[in-house]
Chains A and B, each alone.
Chain A
Amino acid sequence: MTRTPAGWDVEGPVQAEVFVIWLNGETLELTGPCGAAPWYLELGAVDHPVEVVDRIVREVVGDPLLVHSTSWRRDRDAVILSFVVVIEAGRVGSMDSRPIGRADLARSEATAAPRDIATEQVVEHALRHLAWLAVDDPVVRAGLSPAWQAALAGYVPEPFRNLG
């Protein structure tokens, strides 16, 4: 019997979705070792999500400026924990990168999650979350340069929320 290969992909009940973001001049860009796209990590039963994301980012990309969880949702047959990882421009190297566009947020109903959530909406929310932290959290504020804070100024601050 033959079969069609399913391909190799991250699985498991809890997965991390990492958005590696850097400031190219005045423009926020998405990059990462898997291209300018979400980067998925498998999370084991005893893994601490933040520790796993931080460790693998350091090993693969280099030391980040900031690692922060910004939302969660159900997708890919799993609970997806989204992280924004801020890196210096010098870490991008040969990784693909593209400017981040704006998007409308995926809004929940009063007692139900949004039905569909696009990657662009997750990134939009992540940056609004980061904009909120840049105002509210002294550690984050200290970790972001004035240029970064200026780039985030166009995002309406918004704290952690469930996206799905």
Chain B
Amino acid sequence: MDAPMSERRIRTRCACGWEASGPEGEVVEATIEHGKRLHNMVATRDEVLSRAEGVDGDALDDAGEVDDGPR
């Protein structure tokens, strides 16, 4: 069974060196706040997820889901 969305852990990295990792909801919120506060950026959840990765280096697929590889 897939983990609930709230438990999925992702990582985002900003070109300025800032990064966040943890539960998806927290990371998305932190990333949007970082972009707005430090870079005057307006970003949506989908835009954040489109540039996030799973923790432990897992890539996300085009829909923003962790890709576990072939099943």
* A interface, CB within 8 angstroms of B: 1-10, 16, 33-35, 37, 39-44, 47, 52, 56, 59-60
Residue of B12, B15, B52, B67 touching A10 (CB-CB under 8 A) = B15
User: Are the CB atoms of A5 and B14 closer together than 8 Å?
Assistant: no
> What is the total of A-B residue contacts with beta carbons within 8 Å?
69
* B interface, CB within 8 angstroms of A: 12-18, 31, 35, 37-42, 48, 51-53, 59-62, 67
Residue of B31, B37, B41 touching A42 (CB-CB under 8 A) = B41
Residue of B16, B51, B67 touching A40 (CB-CB under 8 A) = B16
Bound Cα distance from A4 to B60, whole angstroms: 8
Bound Cα distance from A33 to B61, whole angstroms: 32
User: Are the CB atoms of B38 and A56 closer together than 8 Å?
Assistant: yes
- Residues on B with beta carbons closer than 8 Å to the beta carbon of A3: 59-62
CB distance from B6 to the nearest CB of A (A): 21
